[in-house]
Structure 1
Amino acid sequence: MDETGSHKIAWSRQLADAHATLRARLRDLRDGSDDLLTHCLGFCSALTTHHEGEDTGLFAELVRARPDLAATVAALREDHRLIADIIGTVRDLAAESEEATSDRRAAIQRELDGLAAIMESHFRYEERAIGAALDDGVEDTGWSRPVFALRT
């Protein structure tokens, strides 16, 4: 039980829920928002905050509790770097979306499609690779807020 007396939802479930929220936000973005820039910036910020929270908090605590997962965490961090590069490209393309030609809009859509594919693969791997370890006990040193409480 947590300090409020209620049972905590398993960390793995909260991680899966955060991923589901990010998937839905990307799906909305890909479905053709009239204001691509605003929606992109919100989504990109939420995804970046989630991954930075994992990189700077969750993963450190996870490796402290389960040193055998160090290689897995290194692979997840590498995925985060790859995704961050794609996010940068998406942000740049979205910034020009107001004046974008149909060719540029197609480029934006391709980047979003690629991001969706990579995110899906990453999320599934992460949930499989660390879910049980999260539920076995990882100290929350403040990492849960940026990882689970997604900002818009």
Structure 2
Amino acid sequence: MPNEFDEFNAFNQRVIEEFRANRGRVGGPFEGGRLLLLTTEGARSGRPHTTPVGYLPDGAERVLVIASAGGSPRHPAWYHNLLAHPEVTVESGAFTYRARAVPLTGEERDLAFARAVESDPGWAEYQRKTRRVIPVVALYEIGGDGPPNINAGSPAEAIKVVHDAFRRELGLLRQEMARQGPLLGAQLRVNCLTFCHGLHNHHTGEDLGLFPMVAARSPEAEGALVRLKEEHERIAGLIEELRAVVDAGDTESARAEVERLTAELEAHLTYEEEQLIPLLSP
């Protein structure tokens, strides 16, 4: 008969397969949450081990993962692995990248964990169940030459994959805003600002890389590219307005700005897909 460890591994493998098949979207207990796949090198075996873990956005440079193990008395195996081998692989659904894992310490760890609890009280319950201090680990992307590694088979597919990742993150932000009380929580502020930064970087990359490539290959797309660049400028203005109200902690204004951004961004993404995907398809 399968033991508890076998059942846990089988459950994780099903989540991993669903995550990869749906580029980050899963159901069951992880549905509607932020999840990534973390591949570590075994501390003793040296073999790769992939684990689904929840994460917290934490600005432009890193994401945070929490070694809760459901409140177990022992740290999870992936945490021991990254202590021995700090270079790991992260799969976000849309992207795969190498990262450097750094456990947080002292006040930095405590503040990050407090933000996690603020966004989901379940983290506090895990801490109450164990005597160990649950570690918080920062994952810093290791930059490389060339464009990011998008989990797509073609430039046309890559557009849809990246767009859907932004749609999903914006949907999570709207859900979190809807649950928020009169004060804008610290982690929700970080989530908003991280999204704003990521969207700004994406549009900058398109302006400097994708759009010139399309223009060179398909001169007939000039009108569409002009419109897309103008939409980038309008969206940049909305991002700045959202940043301002988030910095001010104004929840009601932040909700309104997120809705404005959602409407503008969805129309933009849809138009871009309609115009560019046919031009980039094999």
Shorter chain as normaliser: what TM range? 0.7 to 0.9
Q: Give the structure with higher Rg (CA).
A: 2
- The question of 1:24 aligning with 2:176 is answered no
d(CA) in 2 for partners of 1:92, 1:40:
11
SS in 1 for 2:176: coil
d(CA) in 1 for partners of 2:167, 2:260:
13
SS in 1 for 2:231: helix
- State the one-letter code of the partner of 1:16: K
- State the one-letter code of the partner of 1:80: H
- State the one-letter code of the partner of 1:30: R
State the match for 1:77 in structure 2.
229
d(CA) in 1 for partners of 2:190, 2:253:
18
Give the C-alpha shift of residue 24 in structure 1. Answer: 1.0
Give the C-alpha shift of residue 37 in structure 1. Answer: 1.6
- The question of 1:9 aligning with 2:161 is answered no
Give the C-alpha shift of residue 11 in structure 1. Answer: 1.3
SS in 2 for 1:9: coil
d(CA) in 1 for partners of 2:164, 2:190:
21
State the match for 1:67 in structure 2.
219
**Which structure is higher in helix share?**
1
Q: CA RMSD in A?
A: 1.3
Deviations 1:11-69 (A, max 9, x none): 12111110110011111112226422201111011111111111111101110111111
State the match for 2:196 in structure 1.
44
d(CA) in 2 for partners of 1:119, 1:53:
16
d(CA) in 1 for partners of 2:277, 2:198:
21
State the match for 2:256 in structure 1.
110
1:93 to 230, 241, 245: 245
Greater relative CO (CA pairs within 8 A, separation 6+):
1
d(CA) in 2 for partners of 1:123, 1:12:
13
- State the one-letter code of the partner of 2:280: L
d(CA) in 1 for partners of 2:281, 2:199:
22
Give the C-alpha shift of residue 107 in structure 1. Answer: 1.5
d(CA) in 1 for partners of 2:271, 2:240:
23
Deviations 1:99-120 (A, max 9, x none): x3xxxx2211111001111111
d(CA) in 2 for partners of 1:36, 1:90:
12
d(CA) in 2 for partners of 1:36, 1:62:
36
Give the C-alpha shift of residue 135 in structure 1. Answer: 2.3
d(CA) in 2 for partners of 1:73, 1:81:
13
State the match for 2:280 in structure 1.
134
| Unmatched 5+ stretches in structure 1 | 1-7, 137-152
- The question of 1:56 aligning with 2:202 is answered no
**Which structure is higher in strand share?**
2
Deviations 1:121-146 (A, max 9, x none): 1111100111011224xxxxxxxxxx
d(CA) in 2 for partners of 1:80, 1:134:
20
| Unmatched 5+ stretches in structure 2 | 1-151, 178-184
SS in 2 for 1:45: helix
d(CA) in 1 for partners of 2:203, 2:176:
25
